[in-house]
Structure 1
Amino acid sequence: MSKLTADLTYDYLSAEAAPTREERIEATYAFGGSCTTLKHGMGQGCTKYNSRKFAQGGGCQLNLALGIVRTFQNSVIIIHGPLGCASNNLGIAGYSKTFRVLKQKQGTDNVWIHTNLDENDVIAGGIDKLRQAILYAEKEYRPDAIIIGNSCVPGIIGDDIDSLIDELDGQLSARVVPVHCEGFKSKFVATGYDSAYHGVLKKLVDPIKKQDRINPDDIAYTTAEETERYINSKTVNLLNVGSTSFGDEFELSRLLKALGLTVRVLPLYASIDEISRIGEAALNVSICATHDDYLIGHLKERFGTDYVIDTLPIGIKNTNQWLRVIARFFKLEDEAEKLIAIETAQLEEALVPFKKELQGKTVFVGGGETRIFTTAEFYQSLGMKVLGLKPHNFDRFAVPMIDDIDDQEAVIDVAPGQPSEELVILNRLKPDLYVGHVGAPAWVTKLGIPNIPLFGQSLNYMGYSGAFELARKAVKSLKNTNFPKKIAANVPLPFRPEWYASNPFDNIKEAQQG
């Protein structure tokens, strides 16, 4: 569906691991400047070669990959690596079970095993430990899937986990999925998503019968097979991500069902059977290109399933656009326009008091690229001025969104982590409100800036009801700013005063144009 991906190929499943994003897609993780200069740099193709002299911090590809696969129902996760690679799982021990219940899924436990590689294993290899872990998982839990997260150390020492899986083939009832998420291979932490989906596509997604797409209005179905074809012809896979809440999923499903479509929300928190049949839908709908492009690109090439990846339904404009693109595919344009008119009129009326409070205020947004641009555009539509944005990375999917920002000189800092850069920028811009990714508000509060989270699993952000909640949260935060003011007055800033007078982008090494 998206012209942006017309020249990309996704035929990588013959390889053991997904390619890095450096190899596969035009993207950058290091840039400092304005909307105008970023768009120019992307157009010239030079920004993807930018780098940093020093990286203060970033994400872990293993954690991002596990964020997908550990949500699957009745599965066991085996983390193959040193003990520290499992530490993140301690913090989310009850997380998956809780959110399965919130999302009205089967409330199974989050089961994970660790191979605990030590110094001896680094020399002799850790395959025997992994073999024992797989056989133990099969015997003890009888899962539908055993998923192996291969961390940096076994990747460096050369543990051949794929040969081990082939060796055990036929001895296990569970499907065994290798996930190669060795973080040293790529500077783009989002490569972890590709690693997870590479394993899922190879081992969990079943082939489907090649059938011509039917017109649901013309079919006269009588057999069970024809009935199934009819249902599939009106089925949408709504692809969720870790930052979508049950409220988000409910709202987006509500809108698609209002058009007469059947909605399946997956892959997170889905069963292995549901994931195996992901290829049966008529359309895949992504709400995050960074998260999903590898998955839906493969499904397009493998099954011919069209997809929508152009926007994220946050705010009025982007929710309307999202609905129109989907409706156009199913030839439901008239139904969509009626729905949009009703929803927009009700929302605009409800937003009137919020617009009065937010008019003329300034905002800075940091986090995932598509989410921050759509969020910024919505606050802009409420009368706020966007002073700056901080995407974790920036790629071709987000380029058209730059034009939605009214002030093309607004600051953009492309950086995974790197709070040292962001705090210098915020200390100078002093926005009235900061909207940011998990972890950032703790730093920002020390500057005395009111802030709200960019997403939350217990909150609603998407669709028309999400737009109302975004406006309400901003007004609530700005009405009472005592907390950040008191923190700023009593908690010291994390860097020396002279750092805040420096150029935050001196650390970025720009690529030389040929």
Structure 2
Amino acid sequence: MPKLLTENLKYNYLSADEPPVRDERVGGCIAYCGSCSSFQGDFKSGCAQAQNRKFSQSGGCQLGLALGIINSLSNVITIVHSPLGCCSGLAGMAGVRNSNRASRGLTTEDQTFIHTNMDELDVVNGGIDKLTRAILYADKEYHPEVIAIVNGCVPGIIGDDIDSVVRELEPQISARLVPVHCEGFKSRFVSSGYDAANHGILKYLIRDPKEYPQLTEDAQIKYDFAKKYRISKTVNIFNVGSNSNGDEVELSRLVSALGLIPRVVPLNASVDVLDHLGEAALNVSICATHDDYILGHLKERYGTEYILDVLPIGINCTNTWVRKIAAHFHLEKEAEKLIEQENKELKEAIAPFVEILKGKKIFVGGGETRILTTADFYHSIGMELVGVKAHNVDRFVENLLQDIDNPDLVVEVAAGQPAEELNVLSHLKPDIYIGHVGANGWVTKLGIPNIPLFGMNINYMGYSGAFELARRAARALKNTNFSKNISRYIGHPLTEEWMNLDPKDNMIQGDLF
């Protein structure tokens, strides 16, 4: 797998109150349907980035992605500054948060959200007074370590200056105040929400490590030596919201097997852990879309090198992930010994599943890096990859696309858009679908058996994750009666005219308005 070139990217954005949107920073494509070969050419020429769709359904929300990161932190109170509708999913988000923490053996905490409930009068007069009262109340009533102010679309449109409020109130507040700008109307890329949350973490929660002046001179020397040794062996593994605890345990196991010290961050981390985030020899991303902004800044601030160009899913990509980490520490021999042993055991274990899956048609939909590495694994064990659907495509997976050896492979780019995806699937007729959470219900109505692309309680990454990918797909294909019965007796709501439409006909070059 070729190295991803990111040397031309600069990340000196922390002097600004909010990060640049991805449209400006990395570019990318949010609408496409065509062959892999045509997409590769159109992406290089810029034509793919200029495409839109005639009929469009809703996509994701930047505020939701930003909250997914911020809400995972320990002892944080979140203030959502927006009209009431933006908090409609917060109760479920709090439940997911505590489930995730419990699965990792972390203390569960009451998740408290405060909402400014902007109304029509606030749109005219501004909502700053409500926000100020909410911040003072949160600090007095709950005494959190962090108060995050998540800004919705409406205050962004009317110009509420949440950063001025933060600067004014900081001397009066014991908590750290973190403004998060995730106004969705500013970007076509829902993944800009990741940058918004990481911008707040970088600017307000990562501080220079604290010294311990109370130590004697001799004790300080010993402490500094031990600290330097620990940092020289520490590998930060940057987790994402789609990680399970099993994924984190597996990746930590592989890093430990090389004689290194794994540390999983930033989701579910404490403020103290974030303070020491710069104390690492290497930062390792498992999703470039999620992490490039924070890893780039950490390199510029602390000089910490990072690995960004591979996600450890499947045999080939996990091998590459291990080799890249080992190479940074000159542990190539240790890596090859580990890879040889793991590959031998894994291939023997999945042999019965490979016999079931070989020759079956598969379609994979979800986040760009995740789908391409997942597709690579299934293709490597003999399945026929007929199509992929990415939420968006940017420069971080351009080389992964070039590795695809099937020029006719169907590539769809769409965040959400279930009607369009069902149209594509009805033409391709895969034997099994691997897709993002939320898509599986629609796909079942087509009669296609499927498994989720990720799950909070399921291991997908590393070598043990590859075993689970093979096992779960084989199990889904053993008995397909459920999806067939759903299709027969319920069906989907889309018209025959829509389903017969060539999906490429829904694309249009340039903006509609």
Once the 2 structures are TM-superposed, how far is the Cα of residue 492 of structure 1 from its aligned partner?
2.8
Q: What does residue 317 of structure 1 align with?
A: 316
- Residue identity matched to 1:194: D
Q: What does residue 59 of structure 1 align with?
A: 60
Q: What does residue 178 of structure 1 align with?
A: 179
Q: Please list the CA deviations of residues 105-163 of structure 1 after superposition, one character each: whole Å capped at 9, or x if unmatched.
A: 22222221111111111111111111111111111111110001100000011111000
Q: What does residue 420 of structure 1 align with?
A: 419
Query: What is the DSSP-based 3-state SS (H/G/I as helix, E as strand, rest coil) of the residue aligned with 1:51?
Result: strand
Find the aligned partners of 1:398 and 1:266 in 2 and give their Cα distance.
23
Find the aligned partners of 1:93 and 1:233 in 2 and give their Cα distance.
36
**In 1, are the aligned partners of 2:4 and 2:399 still within 8 Å (CA)?**
no
- Residue identity matched to 2:262: V
Q: What does residue 430 of structure 2 align with?
A: 431
Query: What is the DSSP-based 3-state SS (H/G/I as helix, E as strand, rest coil) of the residue aligned with 2:64?
Result: helix
Q: What does residue 137 of structure 1 align with?
A: 138
TM-score normalised over the length of structure 1:
0.95
What stretches of structure 1 move > 6 A for 4+ residues in a row? none
Q: Please list the CA deviations of residues 187-211 of structure 1 after superposition, one character each: whole Å capped at 9, or x if unmatched.
A: 10000000111111110111359xx
Find the aligned partners of 1:411 and 1:326 in 2 and give their Cα distance.
33
Residues 49-198 of structure 1 correspond to what in structure 2 (within 5 A)? 49-198=50-199
Query: What is the DSSP-based 3-state SS (H/G/I as helix, E as strand, rest coil) of the residue aligned with 1:311?
Result: coil
**In 2, are the aligned partners of 1:94 and 1:109 still within 8 Å (CA)?**
no
Find the aligned partners of 2:94 and 2:343 in 1 and give their Cα distance.
40
- Residue identity matched to 2:392: N
- Residue identity matched to 1:191: S
Residues 17-416 of structure 1 correspond to what in structure 2 (within 5 A)? 17-207=18-208, 223-416=222-415
- Residue identity matched to 1:477: A
Q: Please list the CA deviations of residues 326-350 of structure 1 after superposition, one character each: whole Å capped at 9, or x if unmatched.
A: 0000111111110000000000111
Q: What does residue 448 of structure 1 align with?
A: 447
Unaligned 5+ segments in structure 2 are: 211-219
Find the aligned partners of 1:268 and 1:186 in 2 and give their Cα distance.
24
Q: What does residue 494 of structure 2 align with?
A: 495
Once the 2 structures are TM-superposed, how far is the Cα of residue 2 of structure 1 from its aligned partner?
5.8
Find the aligned partners of 2:492 and 2:510 in 1 and give their Cα distance.
32
Find the aligned partners of 1:412 and 1:3 in 2 and give their Cα distance.
21
Find the aligned partners of 2:13 and 2:95 in 1 and give their Cα distance.
35
Number of aligned positions between the proteins: 502
Find the aligned partners of 2:384 and 2:425 in 1 and give their Cα distance.
14
Deviates more, 1:360-369 or 1:416-425: 416-425
- Residue identity matched to 1:347: L
Q: Quick check: 1:474 aligned with 2:480?
A: no
Q: Please list the CA deviations of residues 74-108 of structure 1 after superposition, one character each: whole Å capped at 9, or x if unmatched.
A: 00010000111001102223221121111122222
- Residue identity matched to 1:247: G
Query: What is the DSSP-based 3-state SS (H/G/I as helix, E as strand, rest coil) of the residue aligned with 2:488?
Result: helix
Find the aligned partners of 1:367 and 1:238 in 2 and give their Cα distance.
22
Once the 2 structures are TM-superposed, how far is the Cα of residue 506 of structure 1 from its aligned partner?
2.1
Find the aligned partners of 2:98 and 2:473 in 1 and give their Cα distance.
30
**In 1, are the aligned partners of 2:104 and 2:245 still within 8 Å (CA)?**
yes
Q: Please list the CA deviations of residues 3-58 of structure 1 after superposition, one character each: whole Å capped at 9, or x if unmatched.
A: 52110111111111111111000311111111111111222233222222332110
Q: What does residue 8 of structure 1 align with?
A: 9
**In 1, are the aligned partners of 2:35 and 2:411 still within 8 Å (CA)?**
yes
Query: What is the DSSP-based 3-state SS (H/G/I as helix, E as strand, rest coil) of the residue aligned with 2:13?
Result: coil
**In 1, are the aligned partners of 2:62 and 2:193 still within 8 Å (CA)?**
yes
**In 2, are the aligned partners of 1:96 and 1:109 still within 8 Å (CA)?**
no
Please give the root-mean-square deviation of Cα atoms over the aligned residues, in Å: 1.6
TM-score normalised over the length of structure 2:
0.96
Find the aligned partners of 1:2 and 1:36 in 2 and give their Cα distance.
21
**In 1, are the aligned partners of 2:63 and 2:193 still within 8 Å (CA)?**
yes
Deviates more, 1:107-116 or 1:447-456: 107-116
Find the aligned partners of 1:426 and 1:163 in 2 and give their Cα distance.
49
Unaligned 5+ segments in structure 1 are: 210-220
Once the 2 structures are TM-superposed, how far is the Cα of residue 511 of structure 1 from its aligned partner?
5.1
**In 2, are the aligned partners of 1:239 and 1:267 still within 8 Å (CA)?**
yes
- Residue identity matched to 1:140: E
- Residue identity matched to 2:44: G
Q: What does residue 214 of structure 1 align with?
A: none
- Residue identity matched to 2:31: A
Find the aligned partners of 2:107 and 2:5 in 1 and give their Cα distance.
37
Find the aligned partners of 1:282 and 1:53 in 2 and give their Cα distance.
48
**In 2, are the aligned partners of 1:65 and 1:192 still within 8 Å (CA)?**
yes
Find the aligned partners of 1:429 and 1:386 in 2 and give their Cα distance.
10
Find the aligned partners of 2:497 and 2:251 in 1 and give their Cα distance.
47
Find the aligned partners of 2:207 and 2:127 in 1 and give their Cα distance.
31
**In 1, are the aligned partners of 2:150 and 2:180 still within 8 Å (CA)?**
yes
**In 1, are the aligned partners of 2:446 and 2:491 still within 8 Å (CA)?**
no
Q: What does residue 216 of structure 1 align with?
A: none
Q: Please list the CA deviations of residues 278-333 of structure 1 after superposition, one character each: whole Å capped at 9, or x if unmatched.
A: 11111110000010011101111111110001110000000000000000001111
Find the aligned partners of 1:182 and 1:2 in 2 and give their Cα distance.
33
Find the aligned partners of 1:72 and 1:431 in 2 and give their Cα distance.
40
**In 2, are the aligned partners of 1:421 and 1:505 still within 8 Å (CA)?**
no
TM-aligned CA distance change 1:339 to 1:474, over 3 Å: same
- Residue identity matched to 2:62: Q
Q: What does residue 506 of structure 2 align with?
A: 507
- Residue identity matched to 2:243: T
Find the aligned partners of 1:18 and 1:474 in 2 and give their Cα distance.
40
**In 2, are the aligned partners of 1:267 and 1:275 still within 8 Å (CA)?**
yes
Find the aligned partners of 1:279 and 1:442 in 2 and give their Cα distance.
42
TM-aligned CA distance change 1:510 to 1:8, over 3 Å: same
- Residue identity matched to 1:101: A
Deviates more, 1:221-230 or 1:490-499: 221-230
Find the aligned partners of 2:27 and 2:332 in 1 and give their Cα distance.
33
**In 1, are the aligned partners of 2:258 and 2:335 still within 8 Å (CA)?**
yes
Deviates more, 1:502-511 or 1:394-403: 502-511
**In 2, are the aligned partners of 1:62 and 1:192 still within 8 Å (CA)?**
yes
Query: What is the DSSP-based 3-state SS (H/G/I as helix, E as strand, rest coil) of the residue aligned with 2:147?
Result: strand
